[in-house]
Amino acid sequence: MKRALAILLNEIKLYVQDRGDLAFGLLLPIVTFALMYGAFGGQTTFTGICRIVNEDGGVYAQRLINDIDSADGVSISLLTRQDADDKLDRSDITFALYIPAGFSTALEAGNNTGLVFKQRGNGGTEGQILASIIRGAVADIEQQFLVQRQTTAALAEYNLSGDLVELSVSEVIALREAKPVVTVNETTTGGKPDFIYQFLPGIVTMYVLFALSLSARTIVEERRRGTLERLLTTQLTVGEMFFGKYISFVARGFIQTLLLLLLSYAVFQMFTPLSFVTALLIALIFSAAATAVGMIIASMARTEDGATWFGVVFTMAMVMLGGTFFEVSQGTIFATISKFSINTYANDAFRAVIAEGGSLVDTGYNLVVLAIVAVAGLVLSRWLFRAVGGRK
């Protein structure tokens, strides 16, 4: 056992000294995580800028602008017609609202009027959402005018002034908006709808598999160069050498996961002390299972390129089947196939702890499956393992 631990310490030392391994195993996952978080932003609500050309300047044009601006996530940018046209031509913007001159005057006179949407193509997702928000604001104004006209007609015999009717209708509508008959409450189910909680488990497991696939290449290379054979000229047995290599690769995968989880703990405050310890246990068991598979690849491959390609194909298959970056719908054929991916069980365990606040008990089934894979893979890889041709 002491000799196996000596191999572990030596492998960790070489790992720390190898800048290429460190860059791939530690820096690349962190950079990938930062880029994906920056790209998607982790936002679950809409945010957009509504560019408006206000050629009217009247009271109802301003009310429309205020109503649009009051929508959650929407900000207003006022442009001249020339600026808006130029930006659309250059594709600097994809959508703009034009409020024509005479818009307010026409409404006050009870005449029909209109607005103009200008967009590049279909306006993009942002433009389509903004168009929907604008139509909703216009519908509110239209409703007020309709109620006002009906009220004026109903009270015509009392000779009330139009200003009084308009004021009364506005007050009633404002009161109704403050206390609507029907309210909508938004409730999020299935954990926290945050990018970090959704994608961190997949990033962690994907890079652990990639790193361990490279470790398989390392063993094949050492076998070809005779490094493993020279180690056997010492007092090491094949079993000790095998176990030393195995625990060293487990440690490398665990260290990689530990640093990513520590970063998430420090930056995003996404763990409690107990959930962090639980996540570390999941990481350790997954690293053990993934390393066992990597040792099988190393034992079967005869060339470095063979080990690399076998490892990459295996990793990508596990990533795609394991629901790493998308949710697998239960009850589908794909969900059944995903059960053959070790990433499925690791990702489910991580998400149960990180996103849903689960405990070790909630991850029990997934951890048992990973432990079985680790033990079975370790036994099979030891049976297949050869330090030199024909020697086990």
Check residues 308 and 387 and name the one with the higher pLDDT: 308
Say if residue 7 is in the same domain as residue 69. no
Cα-Cα end-to-end distance for the chain: 18
Question: How many whole angstroms separate alpha carbon 71 and alpha carbon 205?
Answer: 40
**For residue 183, is it within any domain?**
no
Angle at 354 between CA 212 and CA 332, to 5 degrees: 75
Say if residue 208 is in the same domain as residue 174. no
**For residue 186, is it within any domain?**
no
CB within 8 A of 75, min separation 6: which ones?
47, 48, 49, 50, 69
Say if residue 167 is in the same domain as residue 226. no
Domain of residue 165, residue span? 48-178
Average pLDDT, the chain: 79
Average pLDDT of the residues in 84-99: 92
Question: How many whole angstroms separate alpha carbon 222 and alpha carbon 308?
Answer: 14
Please give the DSSP secondary-structure letter assigned to residue 391: B
Say if residue 213 is in the same domain as residue 314. yes
Say if residue 247 is in the same domain as residue 342. yes
Model confidence pLDDT, tens digit, residues 170-199: 666 566 656 665 665 655 544 444 566 677
**For residue 273, is it within any domain?**
yes
Res. 166: pLDDT tops 70? no
Q: What CATH number should be reported for the domain holding residue 55?
A: 3.40.1710
Say if residue 361 is in the same domain as residue 248. yes
**For residue 189, is it within any domain?**
no
**For residue 321, is it within any domain?**
yes
When divided into structural domains, the chain yields a total of 2
Q: Please identify, among 130, 146, 178, the residue that sits at the C-terminal boundary of a domain.
A: 178
Say if residue 315 is in the same domain as residue 254. yes
Say if residue 141 is in the same domain as residue 250. no
**For residue 153, is it within any domain?**
yes
Question: How many whole angstroms separate alpha carbon 165 and alpha carbon 155?
Answer: 9
CA atoms in the 13 A half-sphere facing the CB of 316: 5
Res. 256: pLDDT tops 70? yes
Average pLDDT of the residues in 378-387: 83
pLDDT confidence of 43, banded at 50, 70, 90? low
Say if residue 33 is in the same domain as residue 54. no
Q: Please identify, among 121, 144, 178, the residue that sits at the C-terminal boundary of a domain.
A: 178
Say if residue 75 is in the same domain as residue 25. no
Average pLDDT of the residues in 212-224: 79
Res. 242: pLDDT tops 90? no
**For residue 392, is it within any domain?**
no
Q: What is the DSSP string of 78-122?
A: E--HHHHHHHHHTTS-SEEEEE-TTHHHHHHTT-----EEEESTT
Say if residue 250 is in the same domain as residue 145. no
| pTM of the shown model | 0.61
Say if residue 54 is in the same domain as residue 27. no
**For residue 83, is it within any domain?**
yes
Model confidence pLDDT, tens digit, residues 124-146: 888 889 999 999 888 888 877 77
Average pLDDT of the residues in 29-44: 62
Q: Please identify, among 178, 213, 248, the residue that sits at the C-terminal boundary of a domain.
A: 178
Question: How many whole angstroms separate alpha carbon 385 and alpha carbon 379?
Answer: 10
Average pLDDT of the residues in 321-342: 79
Model confidence pLDDT, tens digit, residues 51-76: 999 999 998 899 899 989 988 889 99
Query: Phi then psi for 371, rounded to 5 degrees?
Result: -65, -40
Output the CA–CA distances (angstroms, integers) from residue 260 to 25, 42, 135, 151, 319, in the order listed: 10, 18, 45, 65, 18
Supply the Cα-derived Rg of the chain in whole angstroms.
Answer: 32
